[in-house]
């Protein structure tokens, strides 16, 4: 037999026993025929991670060049 666990005040919510008939129920309807598809189905990414890494490396390189160029030109 499982005993009821005391509920902490943080988890406490007020729930109406007789909800209003006008209450909004969120989520997909029970007769929905098509569910939205995730862009990350089965662990596959829309953009391969190596392309993302290459892009970030290029951005970091160009940012470093743009920040260092004035300094390097001042040394000449």
Taking 70 as the pLDDT cut, the residues of the chain under it are: 1-45
Q: What is the pLDDT of residue 56?
A: 94
pTM over 0.75: no
Cα torsion angle, 54, 56, 60, 62, sign = positive
Q: What is the pLDDT of residue 27?
A: 55
Token representation of residue 9: 């005040």
Q: What is the pLDDT of residue 76?
A: 83
Distance (Å) of CA 58 to CA 52, 54, 70, 73: 10, 6, 19, 22
Q: What is the pLDDT of residue 25?
A: 54
């Amino acid at each position: 037999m499982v005993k009821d666990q005391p509920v902490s005040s943080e988890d406490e919510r007020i729930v109406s026993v007789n909800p209003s008939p006008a209450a909004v129920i969120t989520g997909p309807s029970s007769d929905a025929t098509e569910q939205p598809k995730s862009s990350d189905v089965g662990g596959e990414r829309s953009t391969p991670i190596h392309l993302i890494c290459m892009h970030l490396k290029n951005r970091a390189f160009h940012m470093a060049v743009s920040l260092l160029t004035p300094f390097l030109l001042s040394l000449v």
